[in-house]
Structure 1
Amino acid sequence: MSHKVLVPFDGSSSSKQAVQFAISSLKERDSILLINVQRPQYEEYQRVGNISKEELDKFYAQRGEEILQKAENDLKESNCKYEKVIKLGLPSLEITKAAKENSAHSIIMGSRGMSPVLSNALGSVTYSVLHLAPCPVTIVPCKE
């Protein structure tokens, strides 16, 4: 039986360590769903200055692709099966929604991401995912 493991990736060293942990934890038939969530700053606007919402969405998709590229190199080297997805929205909601929609067996994520640190324990996205997740969550501690 194969399992899909969801791994949120924001380019932080903590998320890189989560990818490495996920790779080392996979069984032969398992796969990784690598997700990057871009949080748009325009949610209620059709235009921001001279830029349309569609142009901004394209920008965020491109930025997400660039970030995921950093994890893809490790995934390709390990020869594990993976898919990737870029979402726009609130990270904790999009991560847990993707876990439900893709029937993820588990979520493996870093203890903190790229946003400013508000506590010494867990990042705010990690904390929220723990409470909203439809499946088990493994938190990989940051070794820095």
Structure 2
Amino acid sequence: MYHRILVPTDGSESMRGVVAHAIELATVHGAEIHGLYVVDTGRYATLPVETTWDGVTEMLREEGEQSLESIERMAAGADISVETAIVEGGPSNEIVEYAREHDCDTIVMGTHGRGGIDRLLLGSVAERVVRTSPVPVVTMPVSDVPLEPPEGEPQTRLPN
């Protein structure tokens, strides 16, 4: 049913459960994982004028590389093939575009579960992806569990 599963990450340490779920799906379906990190160029608007764009872009790319390396390490424990990419732009648009361009069968992503005024002011990347995606989207609440498991814990199991 699934051959390519897209897992966008925002670089937060709380994505471990989401990644583990995607890996379990990939294991069941014999699918590959596509890890994606979007350098959110919209975040630049809130930075002080004296901040250099190059420095910010480099910092965000490094964060993205670390996040994608974590996905690769988790998937290696399950012998799952992983493709990774870092792109720039608006997160929801870039996630949907990547899914289209790479013929992904589903998207597994975290949601912070913001509601009320936070959602109105910040918007919801997951909600926009759900509305515009050409493929099914599995959303999971992110937890306080860090992306890297404690020593000796299985790499691909969801936290209890």
TM-score bracket, shorter-length normalisation = 0.7 to 0.9
Residues 59/138 of structure 1: CA separation in 2 closer, same or farther (3 Å cut):
same
Which consecutive residues of structure 1, in runs of 5 or more, have no partner in the other structure?
Answer: none
Residues 3/58 of structure 1: CA separation in 2 closer, same or farther (3 Å cut):
same
In the alignment, is residue 99 of structure 1 matched against residue 99 of structure 2?
yes
Deviates more, 1:69-78 or 1:128-137: 69-78
Residues 57/14 of structure 1: CA separation in 2 closer, same or farther (3 Å cut):
closer
SS at match of 2:138: strand
Aligned to 1:80: 80
SS at match of 1:72: helix
Aligned to 2:154: none
Deviation per residue, 1:69-98 (Å, 9 max, x gap): 232221111110111111111111110010
Report which of the two has the higher share of helix: 2
RMSD: 2.8
CA contact (8 A) 2:15 2:143 kept: no
The residue identity in structure 2 corresponding to 1:33 is: H
* Residues paired across the two proteins, number: 135
Aligned to 1:127: 127
Shift of 1:6: 0.4
CA contact (8 A) 1:8 1:15 kept: no
Equivalents in 2 of 1:4, 1:80: separation in Å? Answer: 11
The residue identity in structure 2 corresponding to 1:138 is: V
Which consecutive residues of structure 2, in runs of 5 or more, have no partner in the other structure?
Answer: 145-160
Alignment of 1:31-70 (within 5 A): 31-40=32-41, 41-42=43-44, 49=50, 51=52, 53-70=53-70
Aligned to 1:138: 138
Deviation per residue, 1:35-65 (Å, 9 max, x gap): 111213447xxxx6473x4554333322211
TM-score (norm 2): 0.70
SS at match of 1:70: helix
The residue identity in structure 2 corresponding to 1:37 is: V
